[in-house]
Structure 1
């Protein structure tokens, strides 16, 4: 059985204000919960005006309070910016508020512009990533080594359940790290890099831990679905323009803006070169490509990114994906 989940970036959209984008994200969490989606994750991005999620923890608390069953989490916390101890405290508190529903996905990307990274780390040395993962596990599971520099320190509040920890990545190195620490691993296929080697490294090197006794993998895909292929390709035009000429159009453009945009020859070449990164089509076409990726990566969960300007069409995309994939059960 294939599990479906959602990754939400909070794209700012042409013609919309921030409060409207946040309201739509909340409505989408409730809607995808009603469709049976398993998780709803929030990304972390800094200093980039076209994204609205700079503090996933705040948004997670809000979304969890507006839903009742779906797991809510980070996709992910860019932990090199922070103290592992503080991240553990934040997510223990969230777990205390919403027991059994909180995911803590972590990554090592800067998640933003150079100036934002500098500001987040002013007068601070960037920590070693693998050590941060070990520290985080120690705080969450109260399992710090007795020789640890902060041995005996407890992340407050104490809660009986633990947020589900995932390591996120888009390279073989991240797969190896997830294997070393024995944690679930989510590969960001939508970034464009092929992840077969990363997933192979994860599975083949996996070391059982108190978190997981065997590998647990997931992939994140860009998927845009509509009743017909032509309609899906029209909806995808917004994201294609955004990724091709984002600095010129600013926010995620409307379908009308995208379909009428005067692409240069060079932009057309670039747009075509990026077309393989997205799954676009009618339900059967989408199903075929999702199942192909599941077979390649040998996973049983897929996280869907569906960047569509029109909110009703976006909801429809998630609905069609859920319905067609359910037919495969």
Structure 2
């Protein structure tokens, strides 16, 4: 059976507000837990008016308390903005309360010029991304024997278990860090659906070094996924996805995730139409059986162990129905 995961953006649908979106995320997580999904992640998205998840750690604590089995994670924490020590403390607190259910996904996205500026205001020096990751790992392992500038410092609370650590990215530095430090890796197909993605995963596996976090390579791909009863229904839902994505791709900041009705009224320039064509390559759209087959093909293509779907389509009821249809197609509960 393929381990199937969900990355939920906590979309603020047209006509809803942030509270509505976050409560809908809770219900979607509870359903995913019941349906047999493996992991449920939430992102760190700043100054994004149509997305409610800006602080994944806080949302994770609530989701973990409202679910029973499913692993809860960040997709991810943008580490360059923060103190590695504080990140380790946050995730040790999560792990202390919900042992063996917490994933720390680490990313490197600056989040836009102004966001990057305000989150790093008055910082005179910045550590390299790899050093930040090394620091987090040090604080999560109680290592006081290896040479470190804060050698005797331990992050509390001390826990007998550790969160799983995932490096998130589309190649480059994240792949190198994940391999050298024995961490799991998620490839962002939804960002770069490129042919060299298979080389990224292959390079990770080739250079992987076992660690206390992961004894053997463990990888996943993440892809936008739109699932409905029929292909025609899925294509209609995808119109809203197209409209939302073209706004983001043309540097707009939509106030909400549009409805299908709103999307149908849009008229696009030739430039915007080309953007839509390109973003469609980042998504799988169709009925549950078709989506299942395409996800299996994608897993085989990349040679990964897990698959993460991103159900960015309109309507909480539609998203709940979509993940239920897919779970049945995969026989997750058997």
TM-score bracket for the superposition, by shorter chain length: over 0.9
Runs of 4+ in 1 over 3 A off after TM superposition: none
What is the Cα-based RMSD across aligned positions, in Å?
A: 1.7
Three-state SS of the structure 2 residue aligned to 1:34 is helix
Normalising by the residue count of structure 2, what TM-score does the alignment of the two structures yield? 0.94
Aligned twin of 2:2: 2
The answer to whether 1:264 aligns with 2:263 is no
Partner of 1:105: 105
Q: Which runs of 5+ in 1 are unaligned?
A: none
Rounded to whole Å, the distance in 2 between the matches of 1:273 and 1:39 is 28
| Residue deviations 1:203-252 (CA, integer Å, cap 9, x gap) | 11111122222101111111111111111000111111111134275321
Moved more, 240-249 or 18-27: 240-249
* Mean Cα deviation higher: 45-54 or 306-315: 45-54
Contact 1:84/1:135 (<8 A) preserved = yes
- CA distance in structure 2 between the partners assigned to 1:324 and 1:300 by the alignment: 19
TM superposition score normalised by structure 1: 0.95
Residue 62 of structure 1 pairs with residue 59 of structure 2: no
Aligned length: 328
Alignment of 1:69-108 (within 5 A): 69-108=69-108
Task: State the alpha-carbon separation in 2 of the partners of residues 2 and 78 from structure 1.
Answer: 28
- TM-superposed CA distance for 1:326, in Å, is 2.3
Q: How far off is 1:327 after superposition? A: 8.0
1:145/1:130 Cα in 2 relative to 1: closer, same or farther (>3 Å)?
Answer: farther
Structure 1 residue aligned with 2:209:
207
Alpha carbons 1:181, 1:209 under 8 Å: kept = yes
Residue 255 of structure 2 corresponds to residue 250 of structure 1 = yes
Match of residue 303, structure 2, among 284, 298, 302: 298
Matched, 1:116 2:115: yes
Alpha-carbon deviation of 1:145?
4.4
Structure 2 residues not aligned, in runs of 5+: none
Cα 1:289–1:25 shift into 2, 3 Å: same
SS of 1:179's partner is helix
Cα 1:292/1:182, change in 2 over 3 Å: same
Look up the SS of the partner of 1:14 in the other structure: coil
The residue number in structure 1 matching 2:27 is: 27
Matched residue, 2:234: 232
